Amino acid sequence: MSDICTSEPAGAIRAIDKHSVHQICSGQVVLTLATAVKELLENSIDAGATNIDVKLKECGAEQVEVSDNGKGVEEANFEGLTLKHHTSKLKDFSDLIHVETFGFRGEALSSLCALSDLSVITCHKSNQVGTKLVFDQKGHLVQKSPHPRQQGTTVTLQQLF
C-alpha cells in the first residue's frame, strides 16, 4: 500500500485545462489530412481565388502548403485570422441565412494552429508587398514580417498531427 497522498480521489471529475480542450476540439474539426486540405481549399475559394496550388512534403506528414491568388488578408485582420470563432462572415446567429461561403464558423485555421505549426504569407489586393505571419498553437500572432508575395495567400502547415 502506498503512503502517497493526493488532493483528489482517484477518478475525480475535474476541468480539463484550456489548451487540452482546444486540442481535443480541434481534432473534431480537422480529423485527417484530407479534411485539413479541404478546409484550406475552401478558404481559397471563399477568397475568390481562380488559381490554387496544393503542395505536400512526405505525403503531408512533414508539410502541407496551399497557395492561391485570392484577395489576400487585410492587415487589420491579421490578429484575428486564426483565433477561434473569429470570422468575417457573420456577427451573430441571425446572419447565417445570408452566408454564401464555405467557411463561417471561425474554426478551421484555429484548429489547424492547435494541430500544427501554422504560418501564412499574404498580400492583400491593396498592398504592394506581402506579409509573413507566424501563429502559436492558440492562434495568437507571434511574428510578422514583410515578405515578397503577389496578391493572394499561402498557408503552410508543418508537422500536422
CB 63 within 8 A of CB 56: yes
Task: Establish if 154 belongs to a structural domain.
Answer: yes
Tally the domains of the chain: 1
- Indicate the burial class of 72 (C-beta count within 10 angstroms; 0-12, 13-18, 19 or more): buried
Q: Looking at the domain assignment, is residue 10 inside a domain?
A: no
Kindly state whether residue 7 falls inside one of the protein's structural domains.
no
Closest CA to 67 of 150, 128, 158: 150
In a domain, residue 1? The reply is no
**pLDDT exceeds 50 at position 26:** no
Average pLDDT for the chain: 81
**Average of pLDDT values for 12-19?**
66
Contact in structure between 39 and 112 (CB atoms under 8 Å): yes
50: cell is 481562380
Q: Tell whether 6 is covered by a domain.
A: no
* Lowest model confidence (mean pLDDT) among 19-23, 56-60, 71-75, 151-155: 19-23
Whether the CB-CB separation of 88 and 76 falls below 8 Å is answered with no
The β-bridge partners of 132 are 121, 145
Output the pTM of the full model: 0.74
Instruction: Determine the structural domain holding residue 147 and report its residue range.
Output: 18-92+102-158
Tell me if 126 is assigned to some domain.
Answer: yes
- Whether residue 132 has pLDDT greater than 90: yes
The pLDDT value given to residue 117: 96
Of the chain, the percentage scoring pLDDT greater than 90 comes to 50
In a domain, 54, yes or no: yes
Residue 118 has pLDDT above 70, yes or no: yes
Sign (positive or negative) of CA dihedral 56, 160, 42, 140: negative
CATH code, domain carrying 140? 3.30.565.10
Specify the higher pLDDT residue, 57 or 30.
57
What percentage of the chain reaches a pLDDT higher than 70?
67
pLDDT at 27: 47
Whether 11 is in a domain gets the answer no
Q: What is the pLDDT of residues 71-110, one digit of tens each?
A: 999 999 999 888 876 565 545 554 445 656 555 456 789 8
